[in-house]
Structure 1
Amino acid sequence: MKILITGGAGFIGSNLALKLIDLGHDITALDNLSPQIHGDEPETGSPLFISIKDKVTFIHGTVTSEADWKKALDGQDIVVHLAAETGTGQSMYEIKKYVDVNIAGTAILLDILTNQKHTVKKVVLASSRSIYGEGKYQLKDGGIVYPGQRSALDMDKGDFEIKYNGENVLLMPTDEGSKIHPSSVYGITKQNQEQMIMTVCQSIGVAAVAFRYQNVYGPGQSLKNPYTGILSIFSTQIKNNNGINIFEDGKESRDFVYIDDVVNATILGIEKNEADNEVFNVGMGIPVDVLTVADTLVRNYKTNTPLSVSGNYRLGDIRHNYADISKIKSKLGFEPMFTFEKGIERFTNWVNAQAIEEDNYQRSIDEMRAKGLYK
């Protein structure tokens, strides 16, 4: 098939492109080669771009341009829409940028598919676990609840755990039928993206699939980007011999899913008709707390990097979320192949072979503090 990947030079996009090429597909990649991800000289200095540049039809463009969309869509059978601004914290103060790229960019795609001749049969969207906001919880009496944002007053006192009407609650895996109530601008834009794709595509006879990715990591992810990717941020800090500031009490947790598993899940969505017009969680289905993440990285890098559990927090951050992946297992036959330990070992081995990037994380924190979003 002829497959367009937007964000095709990014972390997920480039890995997906290479795997699809191995399977015999013809790939076009549309990407703006953002300096935040690829550096200031991406065409010569970005390993992600270099890995695909002679293997795909590459279009240096943006999803906010109708002309670039039209050029990229010509003759395509499938669109895998990965291009997006992705930093949760950054989204809270670069609001227009996130809306323009994530929502308006998707609207241009749908406008073309609705009003102009095309050959597209399916659109596969990278949605996000961020649309859930806080995850799914259970009360003592067995009732299921979906708590809203935590109180800044509680967090200022060091009380970071989730409560519902004052009652402590038990964390549960978040399934696809869970309440959607994002707590960041990024999450709002991903919710909007998903709803537009799933609504419009079905109305015009184009199959649609949305994958709600959890925290994706692995070799190749950007070590330059200080705004997203806790594993790469911590790794760059460690390699620069800087201490790690762990937010809250370090017990906040995420579901970390290895890049190869994400690529395999996405290919199932491309190839299987059973995926059509469905949404799926993609994760390991296991929560890992941030302190465990930091400890594991320090151990794998064999350093004595100091860890500070500071009690700082960012407005818009959730406490916990991990995926119920029973639907994608039963419907598409997906099984994650990489445990957290195995994935981290591969990731840190890769980082050890890379040049040490400048640690710009404090800059991102200073930006949030200046906006009153970092406490």
Structure 2
Amino acid sequence: MNVLITGGAGFIGSNIALKLIAKGYGVTVLDSLSEQIHGANPELTSPLYRKIKDKVVFIEGNVNNRADWEQALVEIDYVIHLAAETGTGQSMYEIKKYVDTNIGGTALLLDILTNTKHRVKRIVVAESRAIYGEGKYHCPQCGVVYPLERKDEDMAKGDFECKCPKCGGEIRFVATAEDSTIHPLSIYGISKQVQGQLVHLVCKSIGVESVSFRYQNVYGPGQSLTNPYTGILSIFSTRIKNGNGLNIFEDGKETRDFVYIEDVVDATILGMEVPDLNGHVFNIGTGVAIDVLTVAKTLCEKYGVKVPITVSGNYRLGDIRHNYADITAARQILGFEPKWNFSDGIEQFTNWVNQQEVREDNYDASIEEMKKKRLYK
């Protein structure tokens, strides 16, 4: 059986490729080798690319190019579609780039499958937890609610928590399930929502099975330490290693669900192999919320480096306050169970970072870019 992984030289994709090869699959990778992820010379600057390039059929190409897709799809049985622009903040000012790649590239894949002969049986597509926006909450007065985007004027006063959209009262965040309301608060989130909808809708009409995953915050050894737009663990680690202080947005109590790379790989391959999954959508996380201030303190402790940690009250428009996954469906239907908790996973991650060359810290430049676009306050 042959598998095409788009974005297969990236953090998640390269790990899936190696696991599939070990299981005996033939693997083709379509990847643009974006400089933001892989550096100016991937042969020298991208460990992710180097670890797969001689083990897969590698096509350096773009998901917006029909010829690249047609070459990549030859004799493919399964498509794992990961290729995407991924920075939430960056998406708010590189709008066309995100829409063209995430929506346009997916539409082109589906157009080819609809109108040409192929042997693709199933598409597994990466959505994102970003499609939920703020996710699911409970109001003592109104029950289950899905809050709207937080107001700029409230956050400017240091009021960062979501409010009940019905009564305006205080609410408590709870695990977000797959049937929760979809209301993304960033261009990235919108693009991932549409990407998933396109795959499920078109695949149903052309007789190709579809499965989608809403990954939480994926981390682990091998992730990019140079991309200043994605991955809070990488961003904080690079700053700590450079002796730079950490600016904690809002009040530091905002939370995320951090899921270890091996768990994401295992879940994705289950999504390809388990029968009778057609049309299913799965959250992939740990079901545990970790606040950002805890993340910062844990990393400093693991690295044995003391840098100033400032809870600044700064914030970015488009960021969410809380979100963690209800993974009941993944457990019951997919047979997925996360093997890594945050404590064990962060130990593996920081041990790996300690073995890496200290990378240049480009985070301040990314913040300046957001300030220019009036997205950072």
Relative to the length of structure 2, the TM-score reads 0.99
> 1: distance between equivalents of 2:357 and 2:62?
29
Structure 2 segments unaligned to the other structure (5+ residues)? none
Which residue does 1:254 correspond to in 2? 256
- Counting only pairs closer than 5 Å after superposition, residues 117-156 of structure 1 correspond to structure 2 as 117-141=117-141, 143-156=143-156
Which residue does 1:163 correspond to in 2? 163
CA-CA distance at 1:333 after TM superposition: 1.1
Residue deviations 1:318-353 (CA, integer Å, cap 9, x gap): 000000000000001110000001000000000000
CA contact (8 A) 1:81 1:125 kept: yes
Which residue does 1:20 correspond to in 2? 20
Secondary structure of the structure 2 residue equivalent to 1:144: strand
The question of 1:372 aligning with 2:367 is answered: no
Which residue does 1:303 correspond to in 2? 305
Which residue does 1:44 correspond to in 2? 44
CA-CA distance at 1:142 after TM superposition: 6.0
CA contact (8 A) 1:274 1:331 kept: no
CA-CA distance at 1:143 after TM superposition: 1.1
Which residue does 1:237 correspond to in 2? 239
Which residue does 2:355 correspond to in 1? 353
> 2: distance between equivalents of 1:351 and 1:237?
12
Secondary structure of the structure 2 residue equivalent to 1:355: coil
> 2: distance between equivalents of 1:154 and 1:277?
40
RMSD (CA atoms): 0.7
Residue deviations 1:45-100 (CA, integer Å, cap 9, x gap): 21000010110000000101000000000110000000000000000000000001
Residue deviations 1:159-210 (CA, integer Å, cap 9, x gap): 1011113200011100000000000000000000000001000110000000
Residue deviations 1:207-250 (CA, integer Å, cap 9, x gap): 00000000000000000100010000000000100000000000
> 2: distance between equivalents of 1:45 and 1:178?
41
Which residue does 2:286 correspond to in 1? 284
Secondary structure of the structure 1 residue equivalent to 2:127: strand
CA contact (8 A) 1:30 1:61 kept: yes
Which residue does 1:177 correspond to in 2? 179
The question of 1:214 aligning with 2:220 is answered: no
Which residue does 1:195 correspond to in 2? 197
In the alignment, residue 245 of structure 1 is paired with which amino acid? Answer: N
Relative to the length of structure 1, the TM-score reads 0.99
> 2: distance between equivalents of 1:44 and 1:113?
35
Secondary structure of the structure 1 residue equivalent to 2:368: helix
> 2: distance between equivalents of 1:50 and 1:276?
34
In the alignment, residue 73 of structure 1 is paired with which amino acid? Answer: L
Structure 1 runs (4+) deviating above 4 angstroms are none
Structure 1 segments unaligned to the other structure (5+ residues)? none
The question of 1:106 aligning with 2:106 is answered: yes
Secondary structure of the structure 1 residue equivalent to 2:21: helix
CA-CA distance at 1:21 after TM superposition: 0.5
In the alignment, residue 262 of structure 1 is paired with which amino acid? Answer: V
Q: After alignment, is 119-128 or 157-166 more displaced?
A: 157-166
> 2: distance between equivalents of 1:184 and 1:333?
31
In the alignment, residue 300 of structure 1 is paired with which amino acid? Answer: K
Which residue does 1:79 correspond to in 2? 79
Secondary structure of the structure 2 residue equivalent to 1:245: strand
Secondary structure of the structure 2 residue equivalent to 1:275: coil
Which residue does 1:8 correspond to in 2? 8
Q: After alignment, is 3-12 or 159-168 more displaced?
A: 159-168
Q: Which residue, 199, 217, 227 being the options, matches 1:225?
A: 227
CA-CA distance at 1:135 after TM superposition: 1.1
> 1: distance between equivalents of 2:307 and 2:278?
47
Count of residues paired in the alignment: 375
Question: Identity over the aligned pairs, expressed in percent?
Answer: 65
> 2: distance between equivalents of 1:275 and 1:297?
38
CA contact (8 A) 1:269 1:276 kept: no
In the alignment, residue 130 of structure 1 is paired with which amino acid? Answer: A
Secondary structure of the structure 2 residue equivalent to 1:103: helix
Which residue does 2:61 correspond to in 1? 61
